[in-house]
Structure formats: C-alpha cells, structure tokens
Amino acid sequence: MMPTIVKKLAVEVVHARDLIPKDGQGTSSPYVVIDYAGQRKRTRTCPRDCNPDWQERLEFIVPDPPSIDADELLVEVYHDGRLSVPARKNHFLGRVRIYGTQIPHRGNDALIYYPLEKRALLSWIHGEIGLRICQYDDILEEKKPEPTDPPPADANPAPGVGEPKDPPPPEVVAPTETAVETQSPPPVSVVVVDEAPMQPEKSPPPPAAANPLPEEPLEMYPPEVRKMQTSSFTERVRVPRRHSDIDCGPRVLSGRFAPSCEPVDRVQAAYDLVEPMQYLFVRVFKARSLLACESPYVKIQSGPHLMRTNPAREVNGRPEWNQVFALSQPKPESTLEISVCDGGQGDAFLGGVCFDLSDVPVREQPDGPLAPQWYRLEGGDDRHPGPQVTGDIMLSVWFGTQADESFTEACTSDAPSISHTRSKVYQSPKLWYLRVSVIEAQDLRFMPPPPGMPVDIRVKIQLGFQSSRTRRSTPNSNSSSFAWLEDLMFVASEPLDDHLIVLVEDRSIKEPALLGHVTVPVGSVEQRMDERQPVATKWFNLDCGNGDPTYSGRLHLRLCLEGGYHVLDEAAHVCSDFRPTAKQLWKPPVGVLELGIIGARGLLPMKTKGGTKGSTDAYCVAKYGKKWVRTRTIMDSFDPRWNEQYTWQVYDPCTVLTVGVFDNWRMFADVADDKPDYRIGKVRIRISTLESNRVYTRPFPLLVLLKSGVKKMGDIHLAVRFVCTGMLLDTWAVYTQPMLPRMHYLRPIGVSQQEALRGAAIKMVATWLTRSEPVLGPEVVRYMLDADAHTWSMRRCKANWFRIMGVIAWTIGLCRWINDIRRWKNPITTVLVHILYLVLVWYPELVAPTATLYVCLIGTWYYRFKPKGPAGMDVRLSQAEGVDWDELDEEFDAVPSGREEKVVRARYERLRTLGARVQTVMGDLAAQGERVQALISWRDPRATKLFIVVCMVVSLVLYVAPPKMVAVALGFYFLRHPMFRDPMPPASVNFFRRLPSLSDRLL
C-alpha cells in the first residue's frame, strides 16, 4: 500500500435565508449547484421553503494545489421547477463567487453568510446563503499492482474516447433527493513505479555526494486527478483563471533585464524597475577527506574582496557550511581564489581552488540553480607552504544579478556577513479583536461595606499587557448577584496561546479585595465572522486561589474572537490595508504594486568611525499591508545603491505605501542593546494617485523633524508601478464600497477605545518583528506605523488650521468673484451674468445640467495641471519651516513631562489661550444656530411676530406673482449697481443679528 496525498475542498451548505418565491404560490423549492474546477455537484431539493436548511457536505478534488488561490468556486441556487403547479423551468435564485484566496484551511473554517448576487443587471434577487468552506489534505491508500499483471485495457484511452459529455445547463438539471455528481473526470492511466528501480549493470549508481542539495518530496495525487496527456481534458477540466489572480506583471520586459529575442517570465519581470547589478556568486557546500583539523573555514578572495565562512558543522564526519557569497564586480577581475583553512591552528592552509573568471558561467533567469561540483584541493605554493594537501570541496560558482533567488540569503561584499545586514521579508502577525461581554455574577462572597457606602463590585480582565475593568455593577434583587452587561475589547495575536485572566474585585473598601478569578485559554474562544453568527454564553466557576477549592461563585461571560473587523495598527489617514481578519471575507485583489528601491544620494553622516570620519550604514524598510520588506545594509556609504524590487497585492487602491530609511546600529554587538537604529526619513505614496501600468521614477526628499527643526537628510530614489490586473469596472467599483469591513459600521468601536486598541496592536507587531532575524526594532515599527500621530503638537494644530483655510479658499474666492460682479468692476461680465441668470430663471430645467456641465469643464481644464508623479513629504504643509524652538521641545516632550515647572506652566498658559480662542469660535457657531431656532421659538415674542408676518406677506406675494418674475426681481435686486446700494447692512442681516441666543444663559 502506497500513501497518496490528495488536497480536497469541502463545502458544507448549511442553509439560506429570505429567498425570492418562484413557484407562483409565494414559496420556492431551492437546491444548490456547486461548480469547482470542472467538478459539478448539487444538493437535495427543499420543497416549498424560502428559508431552506440543507446541512449537506460536498467535497471536491483540487487538481492543482499550488494554484488554488487562482481558482474560483461558483455556488448557484435554483428553484426546482418540477415542484411548481403547473410545472415550470428551474428558475435562478442567486449565486456566489468565492475565490481561492478566501478558502481557509481546516480548523479555521467558520459559517459565513454570503449575499446572493444577480446574474443579470435587471434581475430581482435577494437573500443570503450560509456556507462553511475549507481545504485539507486527505491521505488515501493506493494499491500496488503485481509485476505480472497486465495493464488495464482502458488504461490509456484515445483522446476524446470515454469522456463524459458537457453538463446540461442548471435550469434543466433533474432534481434528486441526494447529492449526486453531474460530471466526473475521465479515466486516467496509472503508472506505478517500484520504490527501488533496477539499474543497468554497466551504469554504476551515482555517488551519494554528487548532489548535496536536499531533494524535495514529490507530491502525489490519485489517478482521478492526474492530468491527461490530451489537450481536450485539460481545456475541459481546468477553469480559466481570472485576470485579477494571474499574470500580475507585464508579459515582455523593456528594461535591462529583458533578453533581446525571447519573452521573459514573471521572475525576470519582477526586476525591470531597477538597474541590474552584476555579482559573482559562490556557494560553499561541504568538504571531504581533509587533513585533521579543529575548526575549518573557507576563505574567498577576488580582487579587493575577501570574505570567509562561519565555522563548519560536522555532518556525517564531514565539515559542512552551505553558505552563499555575492561579490560585487565593479571592475572585471581575472581570478577567484577559494582557500580552506583551519581556524584552530593559526589559520593553517589546508588547500585551495583557483577559478579563471572568464570560464565562469552566467546564469540567466529563469534557469534553475547551478548544480554543485566536487573540486580537488590544491596547494603548496610560496604563499601557502605546508604539508601535502588532500581532500575535495563542493562548490558552485556563477555570475548573476540581484534577481537571483540566492541573493537574499547571500553575504554580500558591500556588507559584513552578519544577520543584521541582510535583506529580508517579514509578515505581520494575524491580529484579532477579542470581545468579552461581562453579563452577571452570582453567589459572590464579600464583606458588607460600611453603612452609607455603596457596594462596588467590578470585573477586571487581563490579556498579556492589556488590562480593562468594568464600571460599577448593578445589584440584582439577590444581594449576592450583580449585573454589568458591558463589552470589553482586547487585541489577540496568533498563535492564540495566551490566557485571559478574569478577576472579580470588591472595590467598596480602600484596598480592593479579590473575590475570585478564572483563567480562559484564548485558543478555546469561539471565532465568528459577522454579527449574524450567534455566540453562546458560558458560566465560569470562580476560584479563590491559593489552592482553596471552596466554591466562590460563578461568572456569566460571552467570549468571541471577532474576525469581521480590521485590526487597525496604522493611523487611519495613512492606512495600507482595510481587509478583515477572517480570510474568508477577503475580496479578490484589484492589482499589484511594484516598488523598486534604487538608491539614496547625499545622506548625512549618522556616526563616526575612528573618532573623526563620518559614516552611515543605511538600509530601507517598506511596509504595505501585512508585508514588511527590508533591504540589505550598505556599509559606510553616503550614496548607497540597493537596486532591490518587491511586490504587493493591492486590495484597495485608496491605501498608502510607506518607505523609511534607517541607519543600522544593531550590527554592532556592543551597542545593540543601548543604541536603536536611527531614523533618516520616510516617504508615503498613495496608491490611488498612481496611474495604472505606468512607472514613476523620481527622487524623494528624506525629511526628519528634530528638536532643532526640520532637516533634510538626503534623497531616496524610488521606482513605483501599480498594475491593475482586473477589469477597469472592478477597480472603479471599489470606490463605491465601504472602506472598512461591515462590522465597523454595524457594531462600531468608540474613538478612545479604538486608539487604545491601536496602541496594543502596535506593541504586538513590534514584539513579533523583534523576534525575527534580522531584528526589525520597535523604534522602526513605531516610526513606520506613526505611533505618535495623535500626540499633542502646536505645529500640527497650525498645519490643520491652514489646511482648513486651504479647503475653504475656493469658497472665499467665489464670494469675492460674486462681490466683484455686484460692484460692477467688470461691466461686461456683470451683463453676461444677468443674461445667464435670465436664461436659467426662464428655463429652470437647465439649472442642474448647466451646473454639472460647468463642473465637468472645470475638471477637464484642471487636467493640464495634474501632478506628474506621487508627492513626498511637504515641509510647508507640515508647518515645519519656521516652527518655534519651544514648540518643538514641547512636541518631543514625553508624557508625563520632564521639563521644569516654570516651562510646563508657560506651556499650560499658552494652551489655555489657544483653547480660549477655539472656545470663542465654537460659541459663535453655536450662537448662529440658536438664532435660527429663535425665529419660531418665541424666545423674543416681537421678533417671532415680525418673522411670522413677513412669512405671511412673502407667501401671499409668491401665490399672486409669477415665480419667474419674483426670481428675476430678487436677482436683479441682488446684482443692482452700487449707486443704488446702501453702504449700511441690510435689514434682514440686522434682524438676524438681533435674535437672541443662549449665550446669555451661560454661567
């Protein structure tokens, strides 16, 4: 028996709600048809039920597991026409398209309610269907036929023979009471190979060390899912992939990486935004038959570059390194020397190999990795005298570029061979919102408070470093029972191995007393995807602790992990992702973002070497969505050249990419604990400002705000491209959808609570990335996530004020233009306005189209002034040019303040002055609204009587006089010449200003 691994897709059709009636009697008889990868199955029919309950599980075989994310699952609901009176055809009741990126693995599946979609624009479809979907690996047993058994006669049918016909359309599928397959794969020939095949006598077996690379196990599939060699089966079984899921990059490159005569694949296309950098790659695997030595290592030298491996580890009695080195080749060198030395005996020479670089092959993408070879060690020259050299070393040497997949793990010549200088890709942890609903407690044992003091029983909940407490309890009729009915929110990170500690405290006395506690593993908490999924409440027995088994009461809680929220770890205005936690709720991507980090220029020195020489060891960090990338560190360079490129899936174009530049301090072991990486600057690029399929290559200034003021630290050169992989309408449709997931609008979280949860999420992400290698420090994470975006800053207040003035500037300009028309500064324009006004009054139906046409023309006119590329940080907009020193010191001051008392007092007085101005403006706005209410509130009886009389006169005039004549009279009166205008305010303005407000009633 040979085990066979088959990847399967399980779809559990639970039930549907609120389906449209189709049988002519107010009901429907629905059934479900599911189509996946050419496999078509259906459920039973639920007669005369618009809220059917199937509870059926259908399984499908995944023919191509690596590309399951590009597959599509189609779920369609139909009405069984046979059960109608009279019999009708099978009517369509709705469908759901589920993409491979939304299918979780077994164990993470949950009941999801999908709204049914229309098949045609004018169809009337409503309702939703509840599905539980997961993918899993199934292990089957496959029999091994005897060697003497002849192959089956129909093992290899001719193309097209024995294949089932195409399935009929869903409207005519005959309903059955059990789930049946309407299409199954054709028979496929099975070839069983013996585990130990016989070798020819004249061919010796290959040596064990000929290929030291680990062999990947072949994934096997049962005969029913193996591909046929005929094209007809492939075309019929494989479902064409959507544009949004495949072929994310351009087909043919126009950059330096593209060959001259043949197209390139996706690997090459990923590096067309940066300049190619030639490297000499050396992979050192292992050695054999060396002389007796203690700590062998390998030394690599080519021109000015000298690098060495780490000490070898013993594997089966042989030293093994398995390291990759990348030596930059700015000038062609002639030779490459590789030497094996013994570090335990004063770097004794054990042998070496010399390569002529003119014979080293050039590896072109998408070629596979170069096979290693055994090379005989040589030695005994004047530079390396010593005993007789013996042994072999396994190497592979080739020329390549940074597009080589070995580059990410290689020790480059422009950075030391330590982990803190290599380029890496990180992934943020999966974060959940944990909702704890504290309902009530019973049978609590507590000491009665002193007379006149209320009973104050509260519940305190701790999750790691997070802690929250309920409000004062509401006592029930029973003195030992208390109710809260309060929800507390926490942030939980996968793996869910933390414990939720619930404490019941008596705070009626000075020193709170613990009445009981309970510990709940977070991994055991139920997960839900939306508010429609019910979560059961549970009673937990309280434990007194200290090994006391006495019953201390019980607590009623409802616990759930909310997968329908997006856990915010970034500031809302620079967020890079809005997807919910649950993967099942993700939408398909709308495009691919490609970022080429080319280099930086003119960086300032961040540290000194030798006490006099300035130096900078710069690296870049880019963050978008859950994916973080880090370039390699370029040592001691003010103009580093990275030339690295990365890609991200884009699910919402209204998001922001953040790129930061830092100076590496953690590579120095003696100061790694005390000196964090220094920030040089960052750049934000909003994806929606990028045109599709266009490359933007430009330098961005690196600006950083210090206590001494804003400072330019240099420039970073980036290349950005946003590739829309879907239809244009799909991208436009994103703009009509809510930005945040559904749960944020149905059960919103308060602003203050949201900020507290965001702080906890930032701390969790920083802790997670700190455990990576190389470390991405917490100071880097906080700077990239704008952890201090909501701290007090006088500079930000000024910036926001001028932003408001800039927004209303067009209104002020419009008022000035109207005032110029009224004052007849340009008589010709004023006359034209009179004529246009007459046309709009006589033909009021032209008002709306004229206004929209005018806006359209203005938008078209401003196309000439559209931005040429994404903008970076703006010093003037940030009000960082002439900011006062004291304001900067206040912005960088911690909470609580560490300044002297007189400094804090002066800042407090200044803040009070600013608050008084804001208070006055808010009072003026409130007074204007209260005057409007006072028109008919009779707070001023004379003013209200006068207003009522005026309204009566106006109504009579409007009833008697033609509306067009009234409009013309009012318009001409408004546009009258200044010689007919009184310089004093009009009577209506004077009347409105005399109306009373509530300001006189304030204390």
Q: Residues 515, 444: contact at Cβ < 8 Å?
A: yes
Q: pLDDT category, 148, cuts 50, 70, 90?
A: very low
Identify which has the larger pLDDT, 203 or 348: 348
Q: pLDDT category, 419, cuts 50, 70, 90?
A: low
Q: How far is CA 323 from CA 299, 340, 352, 537, in A?
A: 12, 14, 17, 55
Alpha carbon distance 290, 287 (integer Å): 7
Mean pLDDT within 423-429: 90
Give the per-residue SS3 of 787-815.
CCCCCCCHHHHHHHHHHHHHHCHHHHHHH
Residue 398: both structure tokens together: 């080739």
Mean pLDDT within 933-958: 86
Residue 917: its pLDDT value, please? Answer: 78
Identify which has the larger pLDDT, 252 or 549: 549
Nearest to 104 by CA among 407, 527, 416, 473: 527
Alpha carbon distance 38, 34 (integer Å): 10
Radius of gyration of the chain (CA): 37
Sign of CA dihedral 209, 214, 216, 217: positive
Mean pLDDT within 521-530: 90
Tell me the per-residue pLDDT of 608-633, one tens digit each, with 9 for 90 and over. Answer: 877 778 889 999 999 999 999 999 88
Which stretch, 597-606, 859-868, 879-888, has highest mean pLDDT?
Answer: 597-606
Alpha carbon distance 741, 565 (integer Å): 6
Determine if the peptide bond prior to 454 is cis (ω within 30°): no
- Facing residues of 79 across strands? 30, 91
Q: Percent of the chain, pLDDT > 90?
A: 22
Give the per-residue SS3 of 588-600.
CCCEEEEEEEEEE
How many other CB atoms are found less than 10 A from the CB of residue 208? Answer: 8
Q: In what order do the strands lie in the sheet with 513-521?
A: 466-469, 457-463, 499-506, 513-521
Tell me: pLDDT of 362 over 80: yes
Q: What are the helix and strand counts (H, E) for the chain?
A: 15, 40
Mean pLDDT within 640-668: 90
Residue 594: its pLDDT value, please? Answer: 93
Alpha carbon distance 731, 244 (integer Å): 10
Residue 155: its pLDDT value, please? Answer: 39
Which stretch, 84-93, 364-373, 701-710, has highest mean pLDDT?
Answer: 701-710
SS3 (DSSP) at 608: strand
Residue 585: both structure tokens together: 């709720």
Tell me: pLDDT of 223 over 50: no
Residue 735: its pLDDT value, please? Answer: 84
Place of tokens 């300035």: 614
Alpha carbon distance 343, 310 (integer Å): 10
Alpha carbon distance 919, 921 (integer Å): 6
Identify which has the larger pLDDT, 911 or 260: 911
Residue 395: its pLDDT value, please? Answer: 92
- 320: which residues sit within 8 A by CB, 6+ positions away? 285, 286, 312, 313, 314
Which stretch, 640-644, 893-897, 914-918, 934-938, has highest mean pLDDT?
Answer: 640-644
Beta strand pairing status for 112-115 and 128-142?
A: antiparallel
Place of tokens 């008589």: 827
Residue 432: its pLDDT value, please? Answer: 94
Residue 859: its pLDDT value, please? Answer: 82
Q: Which amino acid is at 689?
A: T
Residue 669: its pLDDT value, please? Answer: 61
Cite the beta strand spans of 110-247 per DSSP E.
112-115, 128-142, 181-183
The Cβ-side half-sphere exposure at 724, using a 13 Å CA radius, reads 17
Q: What angle do CA 648, 652, 655 make, to 5 degrees?
A: 80
Residue 491: both structure tokens together: 């942030």
Residue-averaged pLDDT of the chain: 79
Tell me the per-residue pLDDT of 335-346, one tens digit each, with 9 for 90 and over. Answer: 888 988 887 777
Identify which has the larger pLDDT, 223 or 684: 684
Nearest to 468 by CA among 448, 495, 486: 486
SS3 (DSSP) at 174: coil
Place of tokens 């006490």: 611
Residue 333: its pLDDT value, please? Answer: 66
Mean pLDDT within 544-572: 85
Residue 51: both structure tokens together: 């809220």
Q: Which amino acid is at 19?
A: L
Global pTM?
0.74
* Cβ-count burial 853-877 (b if 16+ within 10 Å, e if not): eeeeeeeeeeeeeeeeebebbeeee
Alpha carbon distance 53, 376 (integer Å): 73
Q: pLDDT category, 270, cuts 50, 70, 90?
A: low
Residue 546: both structure tokens together: 């200290």
Residue 187: its pLDDT value, please? Answer: 38
Beta strand pairing status for 318-328 and 411-412?
A: parallel
Tell me: pLDDT of 738 over 80: yes
Alpha carbon distance 648, 593 (integer Å): 5
Judged by phi (left if over 0) then psi (alpha if -120 to 50, else beta), residue 931 lies in: alpha
* The residue count for the chain: 1003
Place of tokens 């080739």: 398
Tell me the per-residue pLDDT of 273-289, one tens digit each, with 9 for 90 and over. Answer: 888 888 889 999 989 88
From the centroid of its chain, how far is CA 176? 44
What string of DSSP letters covers 355-402? EEGGGS-B--TT--PPPPEEEE-B--SSSS--S----EEEEEEEEE-T
| DSSP structure class, residue 903 | H
Q: pLDDT category, 21, cuts 50, 70, 90?
A: confident
Residue 171: its pLDDT value, please? Answer: 39
Tell me the per-residue pLDDT of 697-730, one tens digit each, with 9 for 90 and over. Answer: 999 999 988 888 888 899 999 999 999 877 777 7
Which stretch, 45-49, 221-225, 330-334, has highest mean pLDDT?
Answer: 45-49
